[in-house]
A and B are shown apart, each in its own frame.
Chain A
Amino acid sequence: MEHRIDPWLILAVAGILGASLVTQHAVSQVVGAQLFVRQLVWACGGLLLLLVLSRVRLDIYARVAPLAYGLGIAALIVVLFIGEVRAGTRGWFAVGPLTVQPSEFARVTTMLMVAAWLGRHGGPHLTSKDSAVVAALVGVAGGLVAIEPDLGVTITYLPVAIAGLWLGGLPRWAWIGLILLAVVAGAVAWNTTLKDFQKERVLTVLDPERDPYGVGYQVRQSKIAVGSGGGVGQGVGQGSQSLLRYLPAQHTDFAFAVWAEATGFVGASGLILAYGLLLFRIGLTAAVADSRFGLVLAMLIGAWLAFQVAVNLGVVVGLLPTTGITLPLFSYGGSSLLSTCAALGVVQSVWRHRLVNQ
């Protein structure tokens, strides 16, 4: 029994993609690159992928999850040897003129596997063995990405682990233990492994005027861009921050700032609303799901998307240190866009294959 695809989710996705294309078009004018055309091609491909994957039956996802997970891990291992290096990170397969980032796709297969495991194991609470399996499934994939090293993508594996453990029902004492562990690990990392520039990024959030032209430059420029958008914005292709290229990484990490400068509070609110609608429809999908697998799967995907949206916006408005996390569906990049659409296609499979009269 199949239901129709969720029109509200499609509306939200189309709205975000439209705003993204407007932004990429404006940025293309300034940097003189073909960002718009490529993003348009990927957006169309992404929507198609979403529709196709939504037609696949949910139990098939549960069955292929181990295979998909294995393929994802294999890709992450292979890329460490034959991958292309960009800015010090060995994380891309070069396929002709295109490059594919396996870490974006392996996250989707990891979520499938975690959901499949939690769908079959655990009653009201997680046993310590099941907790360890969940942590290991995410840890292996995330660890391989960390070796590349791609810190930004590694961090996005974190919400998958946390949401998995939370939904599975990790006991309260374990959470307290984890939080304490995180605090201790953070303190140790601060004093040992974190590099000076990374510490400076953190300190800049606490004290924005610390080094406004050095480490604080990006965040300061981003805040100026967002703030000077005002109520209704300066118009697309008009903002001085974007136009004069004061703002770094305009098409990727700071794309939201370009949009906010151009369209002001009206446009920024519209975009945040679209993300809210998207996450709400994913939550609703989880609520109407009739299996543990479907519920956990939709929630994992929702948690990951919410995490990325929150962290990216947090950086852009100067509340979080610069991390290199992109805004899903909005930032420029084919692998990120296609893997996000694939994940949303899986969510739609949960939506379409729920029981009637639930």
Chain B
Amino acid sequence: MEIREDLGPLRRRATLLLLAVFLTLGALHLRVAQLQLLEGEHWRQMAENNRLRRLPLPAVRGRIYDRRGNVLADNLPTWNLLLFPDEARNLDETLLFVASLGVSDAASLHQAVDRRGVDRLAPLVVGESLDWSQVSRVRAHQSDHPELSLVAGFRRHYPFGSSTAHAVGHLRLVTQAELDRDPGLDPGTRVGATGIEALADDFLAGRAGDRWVVVSAVGQLLGVVRESPSSAGRDLAVTLDAELQQVAASALGDRAGAVVALDPRNGAVRALVSSPSFDPELFSGRLSSAAWTALVDDPRHPLQDRCLQAAYPPGSTIKPFLALAALNEGLIDPDRTVVCTGSVVLHGHPFRCWQRSGHGSVDLERSLEASCDVYYYQTGQRLGIDRMARWFGTFGFGKPTGIGLPSEAPGLVGTPEWSRRVRGTPWYPGDAVSVSIGQGPVLTTATQLARGFAALANGGSLITPHVVVDPSQPAPVDLGLSPTSLARVRRGLELVVHGDYGTARRLARLPVAGKTGTAQVARLQEGVDSKDLPTHLQHHAWFVGWAPLDAPELVVAVVVEHGGGGGSVAAPTAATIFEAALAGGTGG
């Protein structure tokens, strides 16, 4: 190191530099003294009048339109009430005031305040969809309660109400887990809970924004600090037909059941109606716990979507599929007749036909027309349970249809393997006999049956039902059925409506083909008529069919829970729907 050199000039310059540093530091200290000592009182008052608020800017949810342009889901402007709890001088008094408006009760308000997260600048939504008297009361007391703020919002509105409640769905508040996953999400956000609202939530939702504002001590807006605008969700057109929904809903009336209508050519669903229904707008605002309990505890389960979430024994509606299976396997000759004497003994037990007196000599067409059980007991025996199960699977039974709506039930096609694994009992030979007439361990949803009949109607292609047209959805799958076999089965289903022995011949005025079904809920004792059973043990009534006969455009599946006979109960309901559809034109 060069220790002997002259450091004089360096030291002089260093001293000057240090002098500048200390002068600067002193000046800054003086400035701090000015702010804190001279102007302290002024700045403290500024702090009082300096309330930063984050106001959520909700995103407008996309509308849902039906295929004719009817609005199925809309947004109505409303007033919401926000509370900034940290600004309240007397929080208890404020909560009492809010409770006195009748928008919420004091207990749940206190709970909400206690539960709020660390993000203290975000407000609590303490009232939704305020009416005019509530709005004017808040306005009148605004200066007493600057911590309350009225903001414009949107409320989801369903113009077709309960008739589209299950298909279109309803909303729900976001869960805590969803809030934790997405910090940008606002606690008051509603998302799709069921139906199309849930299926297309990403498409419909949009993105909420927010606005940061400074307000005075009396809640007056002083300025906007920054704003990120919300972006609206996109509108969605679906395949449903609102008018057909209404027709189906009124045709079902107050009976429990379901109607599924779809276009057999492409799988576009025209109607999904479940009864009893509910008002989906209950979920658009704050749902009181009493209203929620009433819905959940209702013994008729109005929230359940009977089109998709309820699986019933298909009864005789399974017969055309059994017939096709046996024909394609070459196990039966459609022209060969079976003599029905009213019952048949199999595996040592007698199995009865629904027609106690018997059908006499029955060929394939007649077996469908008159729905002869004995014919299918024997056909089922020839096929055996494994081949029956495989063919039912081919027609889409025992698995979800892929419609895309939430919570679809898969139904059930029982097999010996299933029996051991799930039921825990061995497979009885009698099980297969029951399955061949759609009883016992076989369950289908109305949507599955509509899909299966669509394959009969469209010449043997399995379509995927859908409510939203999506280019990525699977194309129809050709099942490779023999055209002559299919023609014979179709002829049989025409006779169901148009033949002299047809179980649905009361529909003969309509160009409809189809199949009735009467599914037993309880095994009948000898000599007991099903009409004498209590309601909850009465049969489920089915009708599934298509129209027009030559070029089918619509498949309708109707199930009426505990309704009685398929021909007397379900078929007339289906007739109403076919009539409306044929009059209105279902093409498209």
User: A interface vs B, CB < 8 Å?
Assistant: 30-32, 58-59, 62, 119-120, 124, 163, 166-167, 169, 212-214, 217, 221, 223-231, 240-241, 244-246, 260, 264-265, 268-269, 272, 275-276, 279-280, 283, 286-287, 289-293, 295-296, 299, 302-303, 306, 309-310, 313-314, 317, 319, 355
B window 28-79: CB within 8 A of A: 28-29, 31-33, 35-37, 39-44, 46-47, 50-52
Contacts of B213 in A (CB 8 A): 213
Q: Given known contacts A245-B121, A260-B36, A291-B2, is B13 in contact with A169 (CB within 8 Å)? A: yes
The answer to whether B28 touches A317 (Cβ under 8 A) is yes
The answer to whether B17 touches A163 (Cβ under 8 A) is yes
Q: Given known contacts A295-B14, A310-B28, is B214 in contact with A227 (CB within 8 Å)? A: no
Q: How far is the CA of A310 from the CA of B36 in the complex (A)?
A: 18
The answer to whether B36 touches A246 (Cβ under 8 A) is no
Q: How far is the CA of A289 from the CA of B121 in the complex (A)?
A: 54
Q: Given known contacts A227-B44, A230-B36, A268-B32, is B25 in contact with A299 (CB within 8 Å)? A: no
Q: How far is the CA of A31 from the CA of B121 in the complex (A)?
A: 11
Contacts of A295 in B (CB 8 A): 7, 10-11, 14
B18 in the interface (beta carbon within 8 A): yes
Distance in angstroms from B41 CB to nearest chain A CB is 8
B110 in the interface (beta carbon within 8 A): no
Distance in angstroms from B185 CB to nearest chain A CB is 17
Contacts of B6 in A (CB 8 A): 124
The answer to whether B35 touches A227 (Cβ under 8 A) is yes
B296 in the interface (beta carbon within 8 A): no
B22 in the interface (beta carbon within 8 A): yes
The answer to whether A279 touches B29 (Cβ under 8 A) is no
Interface of chain A, main secondary structure: helix
The answer to whether B36 touches A287 (Cβ under 8 A) is no
Contact of A276 among B25, B37, B118 (CB under 8 A): B25
User: B interface vs A, CB < 8 Å?
Assistant: 1-3, 5-7, 9-11, 13-15, 17-18, 21-22, 24-25, 28-29, 31-33, 35-37, 39-44, 46-47, 50-52, 86, 118, 120-121, 213-214, 222-226
The answer to whether A240 touches B10 (Cβ under 8 A) is no
Q: Given known contacts A119-B2, A292-B10, A302-B18, is B28 in contact with A228 (CB within 8 Å)? A: no
Q: What is the chain B residue whose CB lies nearest that of A211?
A: B223
The answer to whether A224 touches B28 (Cβ under 8 A) is no
Q: Given known contacts A228-B46, A283-B14, A355-B3, is B52 in contact with A244 (CB within 8 Å)? A: yes
Distance in angstroms from A226 CB to nearest chain B CB is 5
Q: Given known contacts A268-B36, A306-B25, is B43 in contact with A224 (CB within 8 Å)? A: yes
Distance in angstroms from B312 CB to nearest chain A CB is 53
The answer to whether B43 touches A228 (Cβ under 8 A) is yes
In the complex, 12 of the A-B residue pairs with CB atoms within 8 angstroms, ordered by the A residue number, are A166-B17, A167-B10, A224-B50, A228-B46, A230-B41, A244-B51, A272-B28, A276-B25, A295-B10, A303-B21, A317-B28, A355-B3
Q: How far is the CA of A115 from the CA of B17 in the complex (A)?
A: 16
Q: How far is the CA of A223 from the CA of B42 in the complex (A)?
A: 11
Distance in angstroms from A354 CB to nearest chain B CB is 10
The answer to whether B37 touches A241 (Cβ under 8 A) is no
Distance in angstroms from A175 CB to nearest chain B CB is 12
Contacts of B226 in A (CB 8 A): 214
The answer to whether A299 touches B14 (Cβ under 8 A) is yes
Q: How far is the CA of A256 from the CA of B281 in the complex (A)?
A: 52
Apart from A226-B43, A246-B52: 9 A-B pairs, beta carbons within 8 A: A169-B13, A214-B224, A229-B36, A230-B44, A241-B47, A272-B32, A292-B10, A295-B7, A317-B32
Contacts of B24 in A (CB 8 A): 306, 310
Contact of B17 among A227, A303, A314 (CB under 8 A): A303
Q: What is the chain A residue whose CB lies nearest that of B121?
A: A245
Q: How far is the CA of A27 from the CA of B222 in the complex (A)?
A: 27
Distance in angstroms from B397 CB to nearest chain A CB is 53
The answer to whether A244 touches B40 (Cβ under 8 A) is no
* Residue among B9, B10, B222 facing the most chain A CB atoms (10 A cut-off): B10
Q: How far is the CA of A276 from the CA of B18 in the complex (A)?
A: 11
Contacts of B223 in A (CB 8 A): 212-214
The answer to whether B28 touches A217 (Cβ under 8 A) is no
Q: What is the chain B residue whose CB lies nearest that of A294?
A: B1
Q: How far is the CA of A317 from the CA of B13 in the complex (A)?
A: 29
The answer to whether B40 touches A229 (Cβ under 8 A) is yes
The answer to whether A59 touches B1 (Cβ under 8 A) is yes
Contacts of B17 in A (CB 8 A): 163, 166-167, 299, 302-303
Q: What is the chain A residue whose CB lies nearest that of B43?
A: A227
Q: How far is the CA of A96 from the CA of B337 in the complex (A)?
A: 80
Distance in angstroms from B223 CB to nearest chain A CB is 3
Distance in angstroms from B212 CB to nearest chain A CB is 9
Distance in angstroms from B145 CB to nearest chain A CB is 18
Contacts of B36 in A (CB 8 A): 226-227, 229-231, 260, 264-265, 268
The answer to whether B40 touches A227 (Cβ under 8 A) is yes
Distance in angstroms from B146 CB to nearest chain A CB is 15
Q: What is the chain A residue whose CB lies nearest that of B221?
A: A213
Q: What is the chain B residue whose CB lies nearest that of A163?
A: B17
Q: Given known contacts A59-B1, A244-B86, A295-B7, is B40 in contact with A231 (CB within 8 Å)? A: yes
The answer to whether A228 touches B44 (Cβ under 8 A) is yes
Q: How far is the CA of A233 from the CA of B32 in the complex (A)?
A: 13
Contacts of A30 in B (CB 8 A): 118
Q: Given known contacts A265-B37, A290-B3, is B46 in contact with A224 (CB within 8 Å)? A: yes
Distance in angstroms from A114 CB to nearest chain B CB is 14
The answer to whether A291 touches B50 (Cβ under 8 A) is no
* Residue among B3, B5, B44, B47 facing the most chain A CB atoms (10 A cut-off): B47
Q: How far is the CA of A160 from the CA of B70 in the complex (A)?
A: 72
Distance in angstroms from A239 CB to nearest chain B CB is 8
Q: How far is the CA of A39 from the CA of B46 in the complex (A)?
A: 32
Q: How far is the CA of A302 from the CA of B22 in the complex (A)?
A: 11
Q: What is the chain A residue whose CB lies nearest that of B213?
A: A213
Q: How far is the CA of A85 from the CA of B107 in the complex (A)?
A: 47
Contacts of A260 in B (CB 8 A): 32, 36
Q: How far is the CA of A344 from the CA of B542 in the complex (A)?
A: 88
Contacts of B121 in A (CB 8 A): 244-245
Q: What is the chain B residue whose CB lies nearest that of A261?
A: B47
Contacts of B225 in A (CB 8 A): 213-214, 217
* Residue among B14, B39, B50 facing the most chain A CB atoms (10 A cut-off): B14
